[in-house]
């Protein structure tokens, strides 16, 4: 059996978009990702069949979920229901967020994987 423990810096990050890199741990029914967003990067509007729940760890991001938009900072959370369009813009210092997805993001398995690195957090 493979180890159930995974240091964040040992994971091969996903290049989700230019300027958005996710270090993710997949379970059978849930996925946890630490997502680093470069300063000012825009995550384009998109939707997916996964429920997404997250929290901002560092920095700021402007998040729109459906027609509701909010500027979020450290400690602020969000819930994105399945199939609801959403987009984000990182603040001038960038942002690091934790996102959870249920079920895991199958589409990420087709993304470019980068060499392990510690990322911006902790």
Confidence of residue 1 (pLDDT cuts 50, 70, 90): low
Tell whether omega for the bond before 103 is within 30 degrees of 0, i.e. cis: yes
Tell me if residue 9 falls in helix, strand or coil. Answer: helix
Name the residue among 53, 2, 9, 6 with its Cα closest to residue 25: 6
DSSP letters spanning 67-104: TEEEEE-TT-EEEE-TT--EEEEEEEEEEEEEEEEES-
User: From CA 59, how far away is CA 68, in angstroms rounded?
Assistant: 20
Q: Which domains does the chain have, with CATH numbers?
A: 11-110 (2.60.120.10)
Average pLDDT rounded to a whole number, residues 2-27 = 95
pLDDT tens digits for range 32-88 = 999 999 999 999 999 999 999 999 999 999 999 999 999 999 999 999 999 999 999
Q: What is the pTM of this model?
A: 0.94
Mean local confidence (pLDDT), 17-41 = 97
């Amino acid at each position: 059996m493979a180890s159930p423990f995974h240091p964040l810096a040992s994971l091969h990050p996903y290049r989700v978009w230019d300027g958005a890199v996710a270090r993710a741990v997949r379970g059978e029914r849930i996925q946890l990702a630490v997502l680093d967003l470069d300063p000012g990067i825009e995550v384009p509007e998109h939707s997916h069949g996964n429920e997404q729940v997250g929290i901002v760890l560092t920095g700021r991001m402007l998040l729109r979920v459906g027609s509701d938009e909010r500027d979020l900072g450290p400690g602020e959370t969000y819930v994105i229901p399945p199939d609801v369009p959403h987009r984000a813009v990182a603040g001038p210092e960038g942002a690091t967020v934790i996102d959870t997805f249920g079920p895991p993001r199958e589409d990420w398995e087709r993304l470019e994987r980068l060499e392990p690195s510690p990322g911006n957090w902790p």
